[in-house]
Amino acid sequence: MKIKKLKNILSAVVISIVAIPMQGQDLLARQAPIDRKMKTVDSIMLRNLIIEEMADNNPSAELYTEWSNRYAHLATTLPDSLRIDLRDFCMPTPSRVITSNFGARWGRQHKGLDIKVYTGDTIKAAFSGRIRIVRYEPGGYGNYVVIRHHNGLETIYGHMSKNLVKENQDVKAGEPIGLGGSTGRSTGSHLHFETRLCGIALNPALMFDFRNQDVVGDYYLFRKSSYNRESAQATRLRGVNGSSQELASVSESSRKAQSTKQSRLHKVKKGETLYAIARKRGTTVDALCKLNRLGKNVRLLPGQILKYN
Kindly report the length of the chain. Answer: 309
Domain span at residue 239 reads 81-250
- Per cent of the chain over pLDDT 70 is 74
At residue 80, the pLDDT reads: 92
Examine the domain organization and report whether 288 and 140 are in the same domain: no
Examine the domain organization and report whether 298 and 243 are in the same domain: no
Nearest to 92 by CA among 219, 181, 185, 179: 179
Based on the structure, what is the number of domains in the chain? 2
Domain for residue 76, yes or no?
no
Examine the domain organization and report whether 243 and 299 are in the same domain: no
Q: For 33-62, give one letter per residue: b (16+ CB within 10 A) or e.
A: eeeeeeeeeeeeeeeeebeeebeeebebbe
At residue 140, the pLDDT reads: 92
Residue 18 pLDDT > 80: no
Tell me the per-residue pLDDT of 42-67, one tens digit each, with 9 for 90 and over: 555 555 555 455 444 576 778 888 88
Domain for residue 56, yes or no?
no
- Relative orientation angle of helices 285-292 and 274-281, to the nearest 10 degrees: 100
Examine the domain organization and report whether 272 and 194 are in the same domain: no
Give 106's DSSP letter.
T
Examine the domain organization and report whether 289 and 180 are in the same domain: no
Beta strand 170-171 pairing with 129-137 = antiparallel
Examine the domain organization and report whether 113 and 228 are in the same domain: yes
Alpha carbon 140 to its chain centroid, in Å, reads 18
